[in-house]
Amino acid sequence: MTQGMPVIAGQDNTAALTTSITADMGLASSGTAAFLVTNMTHGTGLQVTSDASETGLDVSHRTVSGTGLTVSNSSVNGGMGLSVNHTSAGMSGGIAISAFTSSPGGDALYANGQNRGLYVVGQDGEAVRAYSYNSNGTQSYGKLNGVMGVSVNPNASGVYGENNGDGFGVAGRSSGRRLRVNSGAGVWGDHAGSGQGVLGTSATGIGVVGRTSGRVAILAENQSGRADTTAVTAQGGSGVGLQASGNRAAVRLSPAAIAGAPTTGAHEMGELMVDSNGDLFLCKASGTPGTWVLVA
């Protein structure tokens, strides 16, 4: 193709300089396209390939409203509305698609799909890497979940957070105010099997910390309905299993509704209970109901 000739459909068009398309739409109605590509077959509507260090496709939008580039795919059998291929032979890096907007409150890239709005695959690295100079790297909203992470690696995580400073690796916040398990929780962990819903580990520090300016820092609730279960188990190994302190009292045992030691049910050695009169009883021998002695 000779330099300066018109772009011819159905064949390769080569140019040494920039090929620019400018449309002065005048009084055209909103939504009118300056450049329209339609593919009625099973192929790609528009494919852009860049083999050099320059940009394959540069779209600039300078009007008050509207979109710089709109890609629509209504194919029943799949296909791609836009395919961008970036090849850097012998070199690393490079960007296949770069989106930028200088409009306050504007979006550099907006994707809307009947199923997925955006589908990204990474071959050897991250599928998506997001960075923000002044705000959050990634913000998402979902009618169901804001973020869902899935992993099939037994040594990896569905969602992983890392902080190289002094902040949190993963933080969650909720505006719910009800003091119930799985109700307005900032962070919620659930295991479909017999594993841990939430696991906190630390090399030399504290595995899990609960802090509040309200009444309860940590709430443990056992919903099994079985009498042989435990809400909290503390295992101290060679040290102390449980340590508690408080200016008002270190430990408080809620009084039972009955007076005297238990007379029914299976009990184990070491159990403590306070009856309705405030008397403290200790189970000295396991059994039904066990052997109880009055401590105070």
Cα Dmax for the chain:
105
User: Which residues, at least 6 apart from 79, have a Cβ–Cβ distance to it below 8 Å?
Assistant: 39, 42, 43, 44, 73
Q: How many CB atoms lie within 10 A of CB 96?
A: 13
CA distances, 120 to each of 15, 57, 126, 204 (Å): 32, 20, 9, 38
- Strand pairing partners for 48? 84
Closest CA to 21 of 75, 82, 69: 69
- Averages of pLDDT over runs of 10 residues in the chain (296 residues) are 69 74 62 65 66 66 66 66 66 71 78 80 84 85 85 89 88 70 72 89 92 90 92 94 95 96 96 97 97 97
Count Cβ atoms within 10 A of the Cβ of residue 66 and give its class: 0-12 exposed, 13-18 middle, 19 or more buried: middle
Q: Tell me, what's the pLDDT at 113? A: 77
Enter the tokens of residue 294: 């009055």
DSSP state of 248: S
Whole-angstrom Cα Rg for the chain: 32
Q: What is the pTM of this model?
A: 0.57
Q: Tell me, what's the pLDDT at 62? A: 64
What is the C-alpha to C-alpha distance for residues 259 and 279, in angstroms, rounded to an integer? 8
DSSP state of 5: P
Beta strands per DSSP E along the chain: 46-50, 82-86, 272-274, 280-285, 291-294
What are the boundaries of each domain within the chain? 1-138, 252-296
